[in-house]
């Protein structure tokens, strides 16, 4: 165990911001949801278009599907792949896995077979629960495929007697990996419970109405779903695959939405084009990428102080780790702070084994019950990223995020970028090294360089530059190879062919020069 050096000033600021301990239930998602269903059986739990399910109905249907999973051989601790389109059946399926004491692994059926097979193998997935059973059986014949058949479910089924421990794994999310292999991040039940119980960054109770906008393989969905259902509130499933502002405004108004999370890019579009979309919403949470101060200031002026809250947190820390309510003008600031740690979460800034004082930049490290136990099957990476330290005589396990930041005098942390080439694009975490890995596999590519560029709206786009090995190297050929290797959200928005990659005086690729030249060649059509 390493001992972290510190000064009195550094220790003081860390003690000040890390007084976040608060009571939260030592129970699993299963027990807490069943308690909410018993407490509010006739309250509306889920809304989707014209359908409404009460807690009694949702609980009974989930119990019924859980019985089918157990009959199919699913036991506590097993991993079940989850792929159901956004609908009440998606929530029923998610709950049914939890009620077996199993772990849900959300995935997208549009991902390439090679990637899905690797994810299932890495997670030890024993079954797939899906509303596309014929397709999944055809693609993954060796897997046990369990269909979600609403007509076969009985809403009067009793709760299974099984108890699930708070340290059991609730779900697994796969994030991008720099070596071409995605990283599996398991999250404990207590990590989710600590996120949505007595939250300091948003009001979550039986009156909470939260729209479910995110894809379920994006961990913001964890907040949207469990934030409502564990507190006896209402989860409103967005009716379409893609967000349209007019439809979002209607969903918000018709259902009396109290809190919403949107990615930075979508937040900017709403502020620019239709800020009235969130009229009446008590708390607007936003995050996933660095914020545009201009958009934040315009939002503050429109919505008023304290209604917009910036949130930050890597997947490894159970969704959100810090929050920053916008209550003062940000004009003249250099960057928007990521703020202070949420309840039952601690934040440390560390540089070269030394705890940072205010004004000193270091790596953002996180601690607390929200931490994942580590990466699936990646012992060395886990040892590198999850490190036990002695901090002023206290044993603390810190997760090294790879993000840089510094303390303001008031204790709020300001984000200063990454220590590596990880980026956030539309809320998805992407390792540029993973895209580069697969780009370099293209037979016609001699050399490649992948980076990001920013649109006027603040939205990031992945841009790739390739040096051809022969005439067959075209943007379309590169795209056709990548589409078989990575999910759609990782595909470059632009691919440019160059005779060579310009270098800086230090011998590194000159990113600025490449981006300034990229308009010389038309990018391929958007995919």
The residue that leads in pLDDT, 227 or 416, is 227
| CATH at residue 280 | 3.40.50.980
Q: Does one domain contain both 262 and 351?
A: no
- pLDDT for the residue numbered 513: 83
Q: What percent of the chain has pLDDT over 70?
A: 95
Q: Does one domain contain both 194 and 324?
A: no
Q: How many residues does the chain have?
A: 527
Identify whether the C-beta of residue 230 lies closer than 8 Å to the C-beta of residue 197: yes
Write the DSSP symbol of residue 489: G
The domain of 28 spans 24-233
pLDDT at 201 over 70: yes
Identify whether the C-beta of residue 234 lies closer than 8 Å to the C-beta of residue 228: yes
pLDDT at 200 over 70: yes
Within-domain flag for 249: yes
- pLDDT for the residue numbered 343: 98
Q: Does one domain contain both 72 and 160?
A: yes
At which of 302, 324, 343 does a domain end? 343
Average pLDDT taken over every residue of the chain: 91
Q: How many domains does the chain have?
A: 4
- pLDDT for the residue numbered 504: 67
Residues 6+ positions from 34 with CB-CB distance below 8 Å: 59, 159
Among 78-87, 112-121, 175-184, the range scoring the smallest mean pLDDT is 175-184
Q: Does one domain contain both 399 and 493?
A: no
**Helices H, strands E: what count in the chain?**
15, 27
CB atoms within 10 A of CB 154: 11
Cα–Cα distance between 194 and 230 in angstroms, integer?
11
- pLDDT for the residue numbered 123: 97
At which of 366, 399, 420 does a domain end? 420
Identify whether the C-beta of residue 57 lies closer than 8 Å to the C-beta of residue 42: no
Cα–Cα distance between 225 and 228 in angstroms, integer?
6
- pLDDT for the residue numbered 99: 98
Within-domain flag for 52: yes
Cα–Cα distance between 206 and 469 in angstroms, integer?
61
Q: Does one domain contain both 41 and 101?
A: yes
Within-domain flag for 527: no
Average pLDDT (125-130) is 97
Average pLDDT (72-88) is 97
- pLDDT tens-digit profile of 249-294? 999 999 999 999 998 888 988 999 999 999 999 999 999 877 888 8
Residues 6+ positions from 199 with CB-CB distance below 8 Å: 227, 342, 343
| CATH at residue 390 | 2.30.38.10
| CATH at residue 468 | 3.30.300.30
Q: Does one domain contain both 158 and 79?
A: yes
Write the DSSP symbol of residue 509: B
Within-domain flag for 526: no
Q: Does one domain contain both 389 and 456?
A: no
Beta-bridged to residue 467, according to DSSP, are: 447
- pLDDT for the residue numbered 522: 43
Q: Does one domain contain both 319 and 210?
A: no
Q: What is the pTM of this model?
A: 0.84
Tokens representing residue 62 in the block? 């989930």
pLDDT at 506 over 60: no
- pLDDT for the residue numbered 505: 58
Within-domain flag for 377: yes
The values of phi and psi at residue 317, to 5°, are: -120, 25
The values of phi and psi at residue 472, to 5°, are: -75, -5
At which of 343, 362, 393 does a domain end? 343
pLDDT at 335 over 90: no
Among the listed residues 76, 105, 250, 244, the one whose alpha carbon sits nearest the alpha carbon of residue 165: 76
Tokens representing residue 83 in the block? 């792929």
pLDDT at 448 over 50: yes
Q: Does one domain contain both 30 and 77?
A: yes
| CATH at residue 59 | 3.40.50.12780
Within-domain flag for 82: yes
**Dihedral sign (CA 202, 205, 207, 212):** positive
Among the listed residues 447, 444, 463, the one whose alpha carbon sits nearest the alpha carbon of residue 502: 447
Identify whether the C-beta of residue 258 lies closer than 8 Å to the C-beta of residue 281: yes
Identify whether the C-beta of residue 14 lies closer than 8 Å to the C-beta of residue 355: yes
Cα–Cα distance between 381 and 80 in angstroms, integer?
25
Tokens representing residue 91 in the block? 């929530």
- pLDDT for the residue numbered 103: 98
Within-domain flag for 486: yes
CB atoms within 10 A of CB 252: 21
- pLDDT tens-digit profile of 134-188? 999 999 988 999 999 999 999 999 999 999 999 999 999 998 765 567 899 999 9
Q: Does one domain contain both 325 and 247?
A: yes
What is the four-CA torsion angle of 516, 519, 520, 526, rounded to 10 degrees? Answer: 140
Within-domain flag for 525: no
Cα–Cα distance between 173 and 197 in angstroms, integer?
21
Q: How confident is the model at residue 526 (pLDDT cuts 50, 70, 90)?
A: very low
Q: Does one domain contain both 91 and 104?
A: yes
Q: Does one domain contain both 80 and 100?
A: yes
**Residue reference for tokens 């886990």:** 382
């Amino acid at each position: 165990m390493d001992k972290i050096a510190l000064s009195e000033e550094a220790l003081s600021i860390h003690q000040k911001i890390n007084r976040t301990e608060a009571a939260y239930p030592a129970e699993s998602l299963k027990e807490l949801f069943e308690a909410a269903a018993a407490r509010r059986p006739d309250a509306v739990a889920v809304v989707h278009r014209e359908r409404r399910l009460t807690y009694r109905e949702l609980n009974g249907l989930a119990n019924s599907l859980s019985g089918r999973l157990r009959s199919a051989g699913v036991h506590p601790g097993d991993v079940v792949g989850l792929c159901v389109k956004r609908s009440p059946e998606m929530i029923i399926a998610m709950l049914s896995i939890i009620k077996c004491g199993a772990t849900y692994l959300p995935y997208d059926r549009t991902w390439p077979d090679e990637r899905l097979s690797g994810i299932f193998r890495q997670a030890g997935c024993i079954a797939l629960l899906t509303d596309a059973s014929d397709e999944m059986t055809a693609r993954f014949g060796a897997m046990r495929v369990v269909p979600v058949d609403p007509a076969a479910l009985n809403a009067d089924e009793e709760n299974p007697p099984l108890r699930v421990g708070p340290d059991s794994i609730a779900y697994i999310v796969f994030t991008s990996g720099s070596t071409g292999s995605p990283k599996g991040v398991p999250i404990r039940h207590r990590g989710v419970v600590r996120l949505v119980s007595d939250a300091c960054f948003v009001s979550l109770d039986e009156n909470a109405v939260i729209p479910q906008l995110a894809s379920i393989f994006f961990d913001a969905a964890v907040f949207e779903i469990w934030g409502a259902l564990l507190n006896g509130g209402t989860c409103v499933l967005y009716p379409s695959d893609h967000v349209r502002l007019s439809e979002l405004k209607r969903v918000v108004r018709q259902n009396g939405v109290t809190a919403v999370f949107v990615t930075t890019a979508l937040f900017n579009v709403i502020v620019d084009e239709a800020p009235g979309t969130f009229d009446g919403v008590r708390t607007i949470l936003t995050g996933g990428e660095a914020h545009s101060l201009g958009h934040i200031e315009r939002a503050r002026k429109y919505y008023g102080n304290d209604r917009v809250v910036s949130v930050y947190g890597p997947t490894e820390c159970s969704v959100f780790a810090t929050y920053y309510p916008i209550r003062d003008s940000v004009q003249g600031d250099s960057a928007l702070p990521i703020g202070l740690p949420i309840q039952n979460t601690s934040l440390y800034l560390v540089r070269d084994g030394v705890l940072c004082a205010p004004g000193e930049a270091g790596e953002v490290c996180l601690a607390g019950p929200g931490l994942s136990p580590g990466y699936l099957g990646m012992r060395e990476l886990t040892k590198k990223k999850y490190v036990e330290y002695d901090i002023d005589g206290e044993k603390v396990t810190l997760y090294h995020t790879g993000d840089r930041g510094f303390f303001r005098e008031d204790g709020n942390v300001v984000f200063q970028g990454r220590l590596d080439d990880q980026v956030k694009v539309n809320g998805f975490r992407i390792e540029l090294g993973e895209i580069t890995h697969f780009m370099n596999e293209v037979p016609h590519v001699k050399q490649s360089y992948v980076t990001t560029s920013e649109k006027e709206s603040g939205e990031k786009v992945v841009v790739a530059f390739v040096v051809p090995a022969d005439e067959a190297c075209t943007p379309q050929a590169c795209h056709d190879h990548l589409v078989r290797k990575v999910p759609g959200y990782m595909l470059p928005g632009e691919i440019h062919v160059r005779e060579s990659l310009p270098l800086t005086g230090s011998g590194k690729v000159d990113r600025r020069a490449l981006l300034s030249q990229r308009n010389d060649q038309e990018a391929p059509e958007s995919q």
